[in-house]
Structures are given as structure tokens and as C-alpha cells.
Amino acid sequence: MTQSVTTADGRQSPSIPPWLRKTAATLLTVAVTILGLLFVTFMIGRVMPIDPVLAVVGERATQAQYDETFAALGLDQPLLVQFGIYLRDVLQGDFGRSIRTGQEVATDIARVFPATFELATLGTIIGVVLGVPLGVLAAVRRGSWIDQIARFVGLIGYSMPIFWLGLVGLLVFYGILGWVSGPGRVGIFYQGIVEPITGMLLVDSLLRGEWDVFKSAFSHIILPASLLGYYSMAYVSRMTRSFMLEQLSAEYIITARVKGLSEWQVIWGHAFRNIRIQLITVIALAYANLLEGSVLTEIIFAWPGIGQYITTSLLANDMNAVLGGTIVIGSIFVGINIFSDLLYRFFDPRAK
């Protein structure tokens, strides 16, 4: 039903529906955030002690070639004009050309991002499957040896550097025990056998029916994914434990137990049901952190994802690739946060 408001001259005018105001506010927030991200990445490219002209023409170029390229890149324009050109190109999906690969940065990112997406997704699944039950159990058995182990595991997950755990994992599970494959995404023998469909090798090998490739890919991904999953589990279990402790101390839990409900019904049917909405945000943030924070893991395990792509490009002074990858990761982080907020509103009637 459309409501109306009375103006100063006594006329009736329809008011804006609340859902439309919220949608407009959300879109405005996203637009301002993305614009700020683009401006920051643009300024980073300008303040870095790297000459973009020399990166293109090389150090042996003549002064005439240098000046021509300087003008072609728009560096002779005022800074605001340069940002306007940069903004226009990025909004059209044009991040420039990579000096290192010689291809469009957008093409490179489309090639390497599925590897990071696959790794982060599997890591998040491992972290959630292990972290949520561990957090619930630690809250239910508060102060017990189970709770102490859960807290210790979480503390180790936050304290140990990920590159150190990665090196130890490679030494133990690959070098000594031989349970998993080493660095890389798939064995050398199986490279190029599966034609990409989604870009995710596990999924593509299943769709193509290449079981040997799937086994090799799984053997390569399980160790880095478990490492990321461990860090995700530490965060998810700690937050789940905190949420559950708050619910288990509420009066409605005492009432449910007085009514004679089983402990299973009290824990999972009442307490856990009321923290699911909060866990949506926690899991979304954990997933976003793995997508943007898997750089060291990809370097240690020679994983051909966007983290390794950005790092390699930075070492090669390829700023177009670095800024393009940064924008993509930042935009995904914003998108995941918006998506989690929408899920929160959908599952929680109070947020509507």
C-alpha cells in the first residue's frame, strides 16, 4: 500500500517506500565504496617509485620515444583528468595491458582467478564444517578439556605465521610422509589435458570425466586448502563459541530445559537456530578474507592464482596488473559483504 505525506501547501504526495529507500542507500554506499577504492588504487599507482613510461619503453629508449609514450599514457594531463580517464577505462573493464605477460590485465585475471576461487572455497568449506561443530561443542562443554583444546587450536591458528605452517606442511605431509602432492595445481603429466569450462580444475575434471586428473588436482589442493581451512576454522569456531555462550545463558534456554526438551533440541533447535544469522556474516567475512589473503599460501605452494599473479607483477614493476588485481579483489570483498547483509535481512525478520 502506497503511503502519502502532506506538503507545506496542503497537497498530498506519495512517500517513498522503505524498501526503495534502503535499496537506494545500499547502492549509494556501494558506489561510494567502489569509487574510493578506485581513487586509492589510482593514487597508489602514481606515488609508487616506478616510472610507468620506462616500464613500457625500456631504459634504452630515446627521449623522443619517452615523450611520445608519456603523452600516450595521458601522464601530461592534470591529475584529476588522469583519474577520470582511469575511471572510464576501469568501468569499461579495461585495466590496461600487462607488461609482463603482454596480454590484457582483464584476460589475465579471468585466467588466474578461478584457481584462487577454488582454493578459497574449499578452504572455507573445511573451516565451516570443522569450526561450527567445534565452537558449539566448546560452548556446551565450557571449561572442559574439549573447550580447552578448541581454544588452544584457535590460538595456534591466530598466532602461527601461515608461511611457516605451509613450509612445515610441505616438509611433513609431502616430503616425509608423501601423503599429498607438492607445489603446483596438478601434476606435470596432466597439465593441459582438461579443457577449461569453469576454470576450476576439480570441477572441470569431473565434468570431463577425467578421474586421473581429478585425483592429481585433489592431491595438490588438499594441503593448501586445509591450511586456509585451519585459519578459517580458528575464526569461525571462536565466534560460534561466543555466540552459543550468549544464547545458552538466556532465560528461554532454562525454560526449554524445564519443559523437558532433550539436550539436542535445546542446543540445535533453539540456541543454534538463533545464532545462524550471525554466523552468516562471520562465514562471509571468513570467505572474503581467504579470497584476498591467500597470497602467501599461493606463493609457498606455487598456486597459479590471483595472489601469486599480483605478487609476481609487483616484483616485475607491472603496475597495471597489480592495480587491476587489487581492484578485482576489493570489489569482490565489497560484493560479499553486501550479499551477506542481504542474507541477514532475508533470514532475520527484525532486519526487514
Average pLDDT over residues 184-202: 86
Burial tier of 150 (Cβ tally within 10 Å: 0-12, 13-18, 19+):
buried
Please write the tens of the pLDDT for every residue from 134-165. 999 998 888 888 888 888 888 887 777 888 88
Average pLDDT over residues 225-233: 90
- Degrees to nearest 5, angle at CA 230 with 290 and 303: 50
- For the ranges 123-132, 218-227, 310-319, the lowest mean pLDDT is seen at 310-319
pLDDT, residue 341, reads 76
Please name the amino acid found at residue 123: G
> Is residue 42 very low, low, confident or very high in pLDDT (cuts 50, 70, 90)?
confident
Share of the chain above pLDDT 90, in %: 14
- For the ranges 74-88, 262-276, 277-291, the lowest mean pLDDT is seen at 74-88
Q: How far apart are CA 33 and CA 105, in angstroms?
A: 22
pLDDT, residue 121, reads 92
* Gap between the terminal Cα atoms of the chain: 16
CATH 1.10.3720.10 range(s) for the chain read 105-351
Q: Which residue has the cell 555466540?
A: 243
- For the ranges 114-118, 213-217, 274-278, 337-341, the lowest mean pLDDT is seen at 337-341
**Cα torsion angle, 15, 19, 21, 24, sign:** negative
Q: What is the mean pLDDT of the chain?
A: 82
Burial tier of 271 (Cβ tally within 10 Å: 0-12, 13-18, 19+):
buried
**Radius of gyration for the alpha carbons in the chain, expressed in angstroms and rounded:** 26
Q: How far apart are CA 270 and CA 124, in angstroms?
A: 25
Please write the tens of the pLDDT for every residue from 293-348. 677 888 889 888 888 888 888 887 788 888 888 888 888 888 888 887 777 777 66
Residue 102 CB neighbours (<10 A): 8
pLDDT, residue 1, reads 47
> Is residue 222 very low, low, confident or very high in pLDDT (cuts 50, 70, 90)?
very high
Distance from the Cα of residue 94 to its chain's centroid: 22
> Is residue 264 very low, low, confident or very high in pLDDT (cuts 50, 70, 90)?
confident
What is this structure's pTM?
0.82
Name which residue leads in pLDDT, 48 or 208.
208
pLDDT at 201 over 70: yes
Name which residue leads in pLDDT, 214 or 71.
214
**What superfamily in CATH does domain 105-351 come from?**
MetI-like (1.10.3720.10)
Name which residue leads in pLDDT, 12 or 344.
344
Cell of 311: 605478487
Cell of 72: 600516450
pLDDT, residue 19, reads 61
